[in-house]
Amino acid sequence: MTGPHHPGLDFLAGRSMELLRRLGLSALIRQHGVSPDHPTGLEWSQGLDDPPILISPGESTGTAFDGGSLPVESHQRVSGAELAKQLRAAVRRHPLIDLREGWTFTSLRIEPDCAMAELVEAGTGDRHFVEARHVAGCDGAHSTVRRCIEVPMEQLAAPARHCSVYFRSEDLTRRFTRRGLSTVIVGGVALVARGDHDTWVGHLGLVPDEPITTDPVAMLRAMLGIRLDSTEVLGVTQWDDSLAVASTYQRGPAYLAGEAAHRFHPVTDSADISIGDAVDLGWKLAAVINGWGGPGLLASYELERRPRALIDREMLARALETRRRFSRLAKAGATRELLAEVLRQEPHLLGTTGFQLGDRLASSVIWSDDRPQWPSPDEMPPTISPGVRAPSVRLADGSRFLDKLGVELTLVDLTDDDTGAPLVAAAQKRGIPMAHLVTADPAVRAAWDHPLVLVRPDQHVAWRAGTAPNDWDTVLDLVTGRKTT
């Protein structure tokens, strides 16, 4: 493992911050992130000196529909390099993790009951063989794990080449951040203000088969059609986009997560789905290793996460086409009014808050229930249907209800007669760790429309009921993956 030399990621959605909060890391990430006052707006322009065609407001952190549907944490702009540094430090401090920095994983052989991994030690070059019950391949876009288990990536379209230039320019900061913007789309270039020390990243689409110039500033100037005075280049990366999803997320004891499992452009919320994968796979592996999760639990990882990647891919393909159409129309001579109208008709940003929290899981370990009518993502009301992320409401003392959940399963009990107590006792007797969270808080009662709700470690609802069920053992077997329907 090595750290990145380019800032890469820029933005984490509220849902990711909420998941990091559960690990006790959100405050630390914020401390090292961009100030929340820094804008996240997006401007569409034909030229840097032209007035904008359209300005889209940034992600909202307001409380307009905070009845439990908003994330507990708001989004955070943070450099990928800083995020990796902080997460790596947290991993080093964790008593259960043995982190071998600089070691390289080189091959994997799947055996009937385990996987045999080969690693090369940093410094000495010594080879080590490790027998593992489970392997999580979180090794990025060029995953060696994926190659070893021979999982192909399914592409939506042929990959195109891109180049990202990380640079410092007071000139650009002066021109744009005053207008409350973080991103400017102009021609084929997306310019992202990093929000610290006048640094910017320019994402440039490259023409196929054309050699890449050795002077990135010249390339930026040519594509933007402006002078960029006193520009200091801090880093350059090239990559191929592909809108690709792995054909499967599991082969025997090996799993794929993050960019090893999906590779997207634009990268808008790539890290958010990657964090979602890691959380989903992480708690299921822990449950199986600790003996309370059955085989169906790990099998549900792909059922819950791969559809999310396939849906995201379609959304991103639409967003990408909007950018391309914008450039093509501008080149063809479309008027400013027409360009603005086209942009208004083609939502070009994912409404990440509603989309991610409204993400309803359906799998073999979620108790099936009648599906509610699907509301508009912007007006996602809190609901406790099985599969959804449980609503979080602010309690009278100012704390957040989701923070009260236990580490593993939690039975939220809103009954007046402690109905959940024998259910929790029955689960514990079967070796299933379950916290019993009893509350009469009026805000929770208003948002949680069922009195008994079983919540998973990833804050998704596994089961709900109005009264104690006759078939509690069946519920427990299903949600822990011991038996699947």
Ligand X SMILES: Cc1cc2nc3c(=O)[nH]c(=O)nc-3n(C[C@H](O)[C@H](O)[C@H](O)COP(=O)(O)OP(=O)(O)OC[C@H]3O[C@@H](n4cnc5c(N)ncnc54)[C@H](O)[C@@H]3O)c2cc1C
Residues of the shown chain interacting with ligand X in the complex, contacts defined by CB under 6 A: 1-2, 6, 8-11, 80, 104-105, 138-140, 144, 164, 237, 239, 258-260, 267-272, 274
Pick 269 or 304: Cβ nearer ligand X: 269
- Please answer whether residues 72 and 402 qualify as being in contact, where contact means their C-beta atoms are separated by less than 8 angstroms: yes
Closer by beta carbon to ligand X, 60 or else 484: 60
Closest CB 32 distance from ligand X, rounded Å = 16
Residue nearest to ligand X (CB): 258
Q: Name residue, tokens 């489970």.
A: 134
Q: How far is the CB of 114 from ligand X (least distance, A)?
A: 19
Q: Nearest distance from residue 143's CB to ligand X, in Å? A: 7
**Least CB distance to ligand X at residue 2 (A):** 4
Which is nearer to ligand X, 160 or 395 (by Cβ)? 160
Which is closer to ligand X, CB of 139 or CB of 477?
A: 139
Distance of closest approach, residue 374 Cβ to ligand X, in angstroms: 25
Of 360, 437, 425, the closest CA to residue 399 belongs to 437
Distance of alpha carbon 152 from the chain centroid: 22
238 vs 335 by CB, closer to ligand X:
238
CB of 73 vs ligand X, minimal distance in Å:
15
CB of 469 to ligand X, least distance (A): 39
The residue (of 5 and 331) whose beta carbon lies closer to ligand X is 5
CA-only gyration radius of the chain, Å: 24
Nearer to ligand X, 239 or 472 (CB): 239
Nearer to ligand X, 243 or 453 (CB): 243
Give the residue from 246, 247, 268, 240 showing the smallest Cα distance to 258. 246
Closer residue to ligand X in complex, CB, 46/274:
274
Q: Quick one: 13 or 437, whose CB is closer to ligand X?
A: 13
Q: What is the spatial distance between Cα 313 and Cα 291, in angstroms, rounded to a whole number?
A: 35
Instruction: Supply the minimum distance, in Å, between the C-beta of residue 455 and ligand X.
Output: 26
Nearer to ligand X, 272 or 458 (CB): 272
* Distance in Å, CB of 266 to ligand X, minimum: 8
- What phi and psi, each to the nearest 5 degrees, are found at residue 181? -120, 150
CA dist., res. 136 & res. 119, Å (int): 15
- Distance in Å, CB of 76 to ligand X, minimum: 11
- Work out how close the CB of 412 gets to ligand X at its nearest, in angstroms, rounded to a whole number: 31
User: Which residue in this structure is represented by tokens 């549900």?
Assistant: 300
CB contact at 8 A, 387 and 360: yes
CB 408 within 8 A of CB 449: no
Q: Which two tokens stand for residue 375?
A: 């509301």
Spell 311-323 as b/e; 16+ CB within 10 A means b: ebbebbeebbebb
